[in-house]
Structure formats: structure tokens, C-alpha cells
Structure 1
Amino acid sequence: MEKKSKIIILILILLIVLGIATHLFLTPSTVENSGSKNITDMIGRHVEIPASLNKVVATSPPMTTVIYMIAPEKLSALNFEWTDSEKVYVPSQYRGLPNIGGWYGTQDGSYEEFIASEPDIVIESIDEGGDGDLSTVNERQSKFGKIPVVAVNDTTTVKKVDSSILFIGEIIGSADKAQKLVNFNDKYLNEVQDKSSKLSDNNTKTVYYAVGNDGLKTYPSNSTHGQLIDLVGGKNVANSINQGNTTSGFQVSMEQVISWNPDVIITTDPEFYAKVYNDSNWANINAVKNHEVYLSPQSPFKWFDRPVGANMIIGVPWTAKVIYPDQYSDIDMISVTKEFYSDFYHYDLSDDQAKQILLGSGLKEKNL
């Protein structure tokens, strides 16, 4: 009997040892290596990052915008300065985030300032399949030293942004909020793609994107800056312009805009919008005569452009209502705006605040 008891005890000890060994060998990498985990970024690099991230920065505004939308408490710096008007709907705890520049457009990033912000990781934007991305990321990594650099696919195209949002959400510990943002995006993408595919030539509206305080710069189709026009089925009047330059845009003449005579004008420039209805040069254009000029809402990020990125997700239903209000009468823009600001801009709007944002953009009250 005693011998049998010893055998049972030995078996129990063996099972306990095997259980511990199984735990050690099979536990995922996300909880091993003394508080770090190994990930594969979106360029295929294996990167070791802290298991828990408290401070994150990105090298460009589109990536920074995603972080702000899904985990603002983890964003330790910006690549830009919010203007006073943009700060209107920014919660007070985020208004003082420092601007450390970045590597996009102006190329004004400062490695010293990035490092001084003490991030746990740096997120670097890459062009999917683009040349030179690996060397750029490796250069960043060499400059940032022990701070891990994680490469994430470009987030400037609304139709392709989902995978990058989900990836960022997963690595920074905000997967649920990232999924919520993707669900919002997909809901309106699916609706506008379905309805735009059914538009006939007879009911397609022509649209001009007026850039700058004189409105005489624009972007053709297939440009990320005017992508929402294409997405909802508007006909960009600048389609005839050389399609080779979709990044910097084109200067056009007043005569050219008059000859295009667009049904709708969209702008992101408040100065242009404030004067267009009183400018005799624009007076005979259909969009002006019919009060069909619209200003992208500005705060805390523009809905239509600049930056191009996840901030344009709310611009999808707005642009649809701007160009084709009758086809999208089922969308309640006051409710949509309140939902988006609460969930992703971390600011609870009243009905009246949401209404004023929309009326200020030029939407007619009957079309809200």
C-alpha cells in the first residue's frame, strides 16, 4: 500500500512538472521575454516591442491621426500644430501635445525631439510595395537606437486603410476600438460603392475641388486628395488634366473653371469659402449660382483632405450628402457626426453642435 502511494505521488509530481514545462514552451511570445513580445511588421521585419505600450509616436500625420482616434492616451507627440479652430473639439488633455515634426511633405522631423518624447515604439508609414521602404525604415531604426520602429502600410486611401488600422490597434493594445473604426468605415464605404455603381450618366454630377484661398488649384481623379469625389460617384471636372501628377496638384485658370462649369464645388479653405459667393469671377458658375459650394468641416481634422487618412472616414457620408443628397436621404448626418466624434474624437457633441458643424459646411438643413 505504501509503495502504491509513493507511485501515485511520483505520478502527480511528474504531471505538475509536465504542466509547467508545457506552459513555458507553448505560451505565446506576446507574454515572454521579460515583458516584451515579437511581432512581424507590415514590411515583413521581425521586431521586438514592449508587451505593454504606454507612449507611441508616428512619423507622419496620417499615422498619428489613427493613433489619436483609437488610443489618444498613448499618443505622446504630434507631427503638426493644431490651429485654434481645430482645437475647438479637441479634449483639453490632448491640446498640449508637443509638435516634433515628421518625415512627410515638409521633412521637418527631429530625431532628438522624437527620442525626447520617450516613446515605447515609433510607427513609420510605408507605401505598400514601394521601392526604398526597407532602407528608409532601417535608417530610422539606426537613428532611434533601442526604440523599436514598426513599419505600417500607408493609411492615406480610405478604401485600403482597414488593415493598417487593425494592425496598429493590435500592436498598441486597442484592438476593439480599431475594429469599431473599421466597422464604421466599411458601413459607409459599402453604401456609397453600391449606390455609385448604379448612377447613370444622366444623374452624375460634376464636381470641382477648389484648393487654396483663390480656389484655382485642384486635383484630378485618382488623386488621394480628391478620392472622396470618385468614391461617391461624382465626376471630377479636372479629369482631363494630365493624370501624371496626383500629389502636388495643378494650377488652373479662372477661364478653365468657368468652362468646366461644375455642378458642385468642394473646398477645404475657409478663406475661399467665405468669399466665393461675393466674387463676380465665380458668379456665373452653376455651383455658385445654385449655392452648391461646400467647405469641409475643419475640427479637429478636416473631413475631406489634408491630411489624407482615417480622418476622411467621416468625410465619406458627408461627401455623399453634399453631392447626392436625395440618394442619401436615409443617412442622418447629425447622428453620424455625434457618433463619430464621441467614438473617435473623444468629444461628445450636442445635437446643436453637430448641426452647426454641418450647416457651417454648406449642407442645407433639409439635407442633414
Structure 2
Amino acid sequence: MTKKRIFWLVLSAFFLLLLSQLYFTPEKTKRIAGKASRIITDMKGRSFNVADPIDRIALLGGPTGQVAFILGVQDRLCAVTNTLKMSKLVQEMYPKIQHLPGPRTTSGSINVEELIQSNPDIAIAGDLDGRIVLDKTRIPVAFLEDSMGDGIADMKREIRFYGYVFNTPERAERYVAFLERIITLVTERTRDIPASQRKRVFQGYSPSHLVTLGGDTFMQERIELAGCLNAAKSVITIGKRAGLHAGLGEISMEQVLDWNPDILVINYGKPKEFINDPQWHHIRAVQNNHIYAQPAGVFIFNRPTMESAVIFPLWLASIAYPERFKDVCVPDLVKKFYTEIFQFDLSDQQTHDILRGTYEFKMMKGIKNKG
């Protein structure tokens, strides 16, 4: 081995040692040592010490970013995901988001150096991201139960967990109460619909519209809450498909033709594009022009988020059975949700953009342009 090679190896080792100590500068140690602490237990049952109060939060999960706004702790964020930074609605609600570090891009992809430099009191993450942070830093990590099978009960449990961690239980309960009011409203108006008259819904994601959420995902419950049937109920997707996000599965055009859904929900393209497409021409939803862009707000609705738990069943039920919701103004309820829960007053245009899926289109366009 040459002297030059030995020199660079030693220099590299020194640099890595220095980097690993950045989080534990004397200033950081004093700040934590001089501050009260408490023991918390995360959703995996792990107990550990954290600063009290928690002033600097790293939220490392796409769907989790919105809870900071629900609980009113957005000013405590010190690191978020790039996806949250690119959310057009978040940028309108909280322009400061664009100046925060975004060390997490996709699941399992974290810029550890950037995360350390953001100086968090705690990081909240799913299994894969949380394990990376634990293995490569000494930042306290609270693990979430991040599953595409999460239902309404899981949403309540998760927001209450966040309320417990951030000492904002009253805000968490405010969300739970609103969620329960909407679910009650929807189910009371749809529960007596005979099985033979329930609308069959197919969600066709991606440019091909042949990627969907199966019957083992959170979407099964959301569709049923709206009084509808999931055309893809028989599709098992969680952990089954390589190259796709967990919970999303590819199906064939033949399957869609066989299901012949009454309602088609898409997240790419425009509904009118289906009218003259011979592949889709024989689908009942296309023939009756019941093609809709999936709503999207702070985050996309094909993930189990706090937003979609409230908005999606209400929206779907209202378009599937408009006669049962004649006296319900869905845009007004959406505005009320953001005012009471997010403490943000939506304009008519923003409300329209949420319900028409415009925010997802804007986000995807931003990702494409950035990439």
C-alpha cells in the first residue's frame, strides 16, 4: 500500500469520526443537559428519554408531515421530507417549509449529515427510516406503525400518539372528534343501501391506470365507509409487488373489464381522455362519464393520511350517491375541516383544487421538473 493511499484512508477515517460527533457538540450537550427531560414510549413499545419540551422535530415520513399542522407544532419542525417541501398546499399554508432541510427523500433514503445538522430533539419515522437514524446517529427515534393496512382506528391511535409526544392532546382529540362526525354523517346516509345497488369503484393509478390499491389496504375500509364496493377487493398488494410502493399492485386491462366499475378514480391524466380510448370504452364508468380525479391536499390520498381519512369517504359517497347528499355542501365541510383542524382558511380555489386533485398534479409536475 502506497503512502499516498494510507494518507487518504487516515484522512477519510478522521472525517467520518468528526461527522459522527457533529450532533454531540458541547453546545448541544449543555442544551440537553440543562433542559428537563421525560420518558416516552413509541408505537413499537420502546421507551426512551427525550427533551421536555420537544422544541426541534424531524418528521421523516411522507404522510406524517401533515400532523405537525394538525397539532399546531409546525414552527417546531427542523427537518422534513422533500415531498412535504414540494407540497403546493403546504407552501401556501406555511411558506417557511421551503427553507427547512429535507434530508429524507424516499423510504430508506436519508441524508444523515443533513439530518444531524438540523439538530433535532427527536426524529419520528417508520421502520426502515427509523432504523437508519438509530444505526447512524444518536438522535432519539420514535417509531410509527406505518402500514398501508392502517384503518380509521389506526388514524386515531396515531394522532393521539403524536399528541402525547408533542404535549398537544387537546389538538389530537379535536381531530378525532371531527373525523368521527364525518364518518357518522357518511355512514348514516349510506348504511341502508342494498349490496346489489352499491356502486363499484376502481382506482386506476399511474399513467396506465392499471395500478391500484387492493382489498388488504386502508382503501378497502375507506371505500366501504362511503357505501361503495372496491372493485379490486380480491387483489392482495401489501408487500407483494417489487418496484411499487407497498400496497400498490399492477393489474390487467382484462381484470378491469371483468369488474366493469361504476366509478373510475384516477391520479394521472384527465377524465375526458378516456372517452375516445377503445381500451376503456366498454367500462360502465366511462360510458356514464363517471370518471374523477382523486382528491389531494397536503399529501396524496393513495396513502393512509389524516386528511384522506376525513375527506375521501365524504367525497366518494357524495359523488356515488348525490341524491343522498343534496343538503350537504362538501366544499364547505372541507373548508371547515382545514379551518378547525389545520387553523388555515382555504379559499374557494384551494378547496376546488383539493377536491379535483389539482394539488397532486402540481406536486407530480414539480417532482418531474426537479428530477
For normalisation by structure 2, the TM-score amounts to 0.74
Give per-residue Cα distances to partners, 1:221-268, cap 9 Å, x unaligned: 222355422332321222344577483533233333223221001122
Structure 1 residue aligned with 2:81, among 79, 82, 99? 79
SS in 2 for 1:123: strand
Change (3 A) 1:309 1:350: closer
Match of residue 276 from structure 1:
274
Q: How far off is 1:292 after superposition?
A: 1.1
> Quick check: 136-145 or 220-229, which moved more?
136-145
Match of residue 340 from structure 1:
337
Structure 1 residue aligned with 2:287, among 282, 286, 289? 289
Structure 1 residue aligned with 2:144, among 152, 156, 159? 152
Change (3 A) 1:281 1:64: same
Match of residue 96 from structure 2:
93
Change (3 A) 1:261 1:89: farther
For normalisation by structure 1, the TM-score amounts to 0.74
**1:208 is the counterpart of 2:202:** yes
Question: Aligned equivalents of 2:171 and 2:271: distance in 1?
Answer: 35
Match of residue 26 from structure 1:
none
Change (3 A) 1:151 1:64: same
Query: Which amino acid counterpart does residue 308 of structure 1 have in structure 2?
Result: P
Q: How far off is 1:357 after superposition?
A: 4.4
Q: How far off is 1:62 after superposition?
A: 2.5
Larger Rg: 1
Give per-residue Cα distances to partners, 1:70-94, cap 9 Å, x unaligned: 2222222222334475556433222
Contact kept in structure 2, 1:40 and 1:46, CA below 8 Å: yes
Contact kept in structure 1, 2:201 and 2:229, CA below 8 Å: yes
Cα root mean square deviation, aligned: 3.1
Contact kept in structure 1, 2:266 and 2:292, CA below 8 Å: yes
Query: Which amino acid counterpart does residue 152 of structure 1 have in structure 2?
Result: L
> Quick check: 333-342 or 272-281, which moved more?
272-281
Which runs of no fewer than 5 residues in structure 1 stay unpaired? 1-31, 127-132, 362-368
Contact kept in structure 1, 2:200 and 2:228, CA below 8 Å: yes
What is the percentage of aligned positions where both structures have the same residue? 25
Question: Aligned equivalents of 2:272 and 2:90: distance in 1?
Answer: 20
Structure 1 residue aligned with 2:296, among 278, 298, 303? 298
Contact kept in structure 2, 1:62 and 1:155, CA below 8 Å: no
Structure 2 residue aligned with 1:354, among 340, 348, 351? 351
Which runs of no fewer than 5 residues in structure 2 stay unpaired? 1-32, 359-371
Contact kept in structure 2, 1:53 and 1:172, CA below 8 Å: yes
Match of residue 251 from structure 2:
252
Alignment of 1:1-368 (within 5 A): 34-70=35-71, 71-81=73-83, 82-83=85-86, 85-86=88-89, 89-101=92-104, 104=107, 107-125=108-126, 140-145=133-138, 147-154=139-146, 157-159=150-152, 160-225=154-219, 227-241=221-235, 245=240, 247-269=246-268, 271=269, 273=271, 275-302=273-300, 304-305=301-302, 307-313=303-309, 314-351=311-348, 353-355=350-352, 357-358=354-355
**How many equivalent residue pairs?**
316
